[in-house]
Structure 1
Amino acid sequence: MAKASGGEPRQPDGAPALGPGRARAESRGNSFMKSALAILGETGRTDFTVLEVVERSKTSLRAFYQHFATKDELLLALIDKIMSESTERWRAETSSLTATDALRRIVQRLSAPASSSTQEGINRGLTFYNDHLQETKPREFARVLEPLHDLIRDILRRGIADGSFRSNIEVDTAAAIFMQTALGAMRLRNLSRELTGVEIDSDAIYDFCVHGLAS
């Protein structure tokens, strides 16, 4: 392993190397998240118990509570991981696009249909659990959404700089509204068929969201 200037061992990618104990703890925490994800994929529900997660992970309740105080903390960690990894990919995808195309790409990614029944179960379970987290843990849930909010805010600033968007936009507020509108519109996929006879797609969501931004 390479060494940092202060002598701290580092992994090849430059991140500090984990000691054996910390590495085991992180691995076990990931195991609990993978087990929760598997249950979500199978059932599409978040009313599973901590005991089910523990049994799926082949560990113990004691080990679980060394990592997470509640099931909410486990699911917050899971959503945090999914959101941060997804946002990192989307940032790379949109870095070379115009601001308008970048926002369209974000909406497309957020509203893309599930690629499998397992993914559909995960999406359904976590989407509706978000309401619970917003009510019970708003500060923690806001922190989970920060990477996506930051990405949209950066794209809006690019659009203001190149003249695509109005110069008087309050960027933080507009980014939050855009993000929440796009996330909320995901639920319209099935409902829209009953309301309008057609499915509301990502283009319709994008057109609505970007309307108030244009210069």
Structure 2
Amino acid sequence: MAKSSGRSPAGATRPAASDNSDGVEPESRERRFMRSALEILGETGRTDFTVLEVVERSKTSLRSFYQHFSTKDELLLALIDKIMSESTRSWRAATADLAPVAALRMLIDRICTPAETTKQDKVNRGLTNYNDRLAETLPREYARVLSPLHELIKDIINRGKADGSFRSDIDVDATAALIMQTALGAMRLHVLGAELSGVPVTVDHIYQFCIAALRAF
């Protein structure tokens, strides 16, 4: 299939000529694939669905799917990209005027607080459990998707270093990455903590762990 040099959100190249057999513009079809995947996740909480299931749900065609995404991994990466970019913009706005310690607390609360609905909980769990696969199969693209959140945490740490609330000798890049991965793994930690000690790992536990690495004593 001949393809142009343009890139989709998931990193898949766009075709030079699109299949308009279903009368939908390429951008709209791309959104329909992501919406269909999100619906399946919300119903099942699992990511072992097939490309064919997504295509049937979106009422399009396999040809149309593969014009936008080479694999299911790229579809899910595009979905995570959309969710993460929208969430990070919201988190940045919410923490912009807060002191660094309060900003970090709010950010961890927003990332780690359990979902309010069963559907959202299933989506969160499904995507969280898929993170390891994406990190293995599409490491560069997955890092790009996470980079806005990493940058936000770095900004909060740098603000804390500047006002003296965080240590001046912190390795900002590495520490921000560790805080990000700890927060994003919160659902796993919640379950694992309960199995290990009988006590779930809470948002407060995660915050206290992260802030201990930053505090100026």
TM-score scaled by structure 2? 0.86
2-structure distance, mates of 1:194, 1:51? 36
Residues 35 and 57 of structure 1 are in contact (CA less than 8 Å); yes or no, is this contact kept in structure 2? yes
Letter in 2 for 1:189: H
Report the residue type matching 1:134 in the other structure: A
C-alpha displacement of 1:68: 0.7
Bigger mean CA offset, 73-82 vs 169-178: 169-178
Say if 1:45 and 1:125, in contact at 8 Å, map to a contact too. yes
Partner of 1:162: 163
Q: What pairs up with 1:96-107 in 2 under 5 angstroms?
A: 96-107=97-108
Does residue 52 of the first structure (1) align with residue 68 of the second (2)? no
Percent of counterpart pairs with the same letter? 65
> Secondary structure at the residue paired with 2:116?
coil
The letter of the residue matching 2:163 is D
Paired with 1:112 and 1:95, the residues of 2 have a C-alpha distance of 20
- Structure 1 residue 86: Cα displacement: 0.4
Deviation, structure 1 residue 179: 0.8
Give, as a single letter, the amino acid of the residue that structure 1 aligns with 2:155.
Answer: D
| Deviation readout 1:22-41 (Å, 9 max, x if unpaired) | x9211110110000000001
Q: Which amino acid aligns with 1:61?
A: L
What is residue 69 of structure 2 aligned with on the other side?
A: 68
Give the match for residue 35 of structure 1. Answer: 36
Runs of 5+ in structure 1 lacking a partner?
A: 1-20
Q: Are 1:110 and 1:186, in contact at CA under 8 Å, matched by a contact in 2?
A: no
Which 4+ residue blocks in structure 1 deviate beyond 4 angstroms?
none
Amino acid of the structure 1 residue aligned with 2:58 = S
Contact 2:125–2:187 under 8 Å retained in 1: no
How far 1:198 sits from its partner (Å)?
Answer: 2.5
Partner of 1:149: 150
> Which residue does 2:17 correspond to in 1?
none
Report Cα offsets for 1:18-71 as digits up to 9, x if no partner.
xxx9x9211110110000000001011111111110110011111111111111
Letter aligned with residue 161 of structure 1: A
- After TM superposition, the structure 1 = structure 2 runs for residues 1-215 of structure 1, keeping only pairs within 5 Å, are 24-215=25-216
CA distance in 1, matches of 2:55, 2:203: 38
After superposition, what is the alpha-carbon deviation per residue over 1:138-169, rounded to whole angstroms, capped at 9, x for unaligned? 11111110010000001111101111101111
Q: How many residues align?
A: 194
CA distance in 2, matches of 1:60, 1:24: 13
CA distance in 1, matches of 2:182, 2:167: 19
**Equivalent residues of 1:110, 1:182 under 8 A apart:** yes
Alpha-carbon contact 2:111-2:183 (below 8 Å) kept: yes
Residue 134 of structure 1 and its aligned partner are, at CA, apart by: 1.1
Alpha-carbon separation, structure 1, partners of 2:146 and 2:193: 26
The alignment partner of 2:25 has SS state of: helix
Task: Specify the SS of the correspondent of 1:186.
Answer: helix
Query: 1:99 offset after TM fit, Å?
Result: 0.5
Structure 1: distance between partners of 2:44 and 2:60: 21
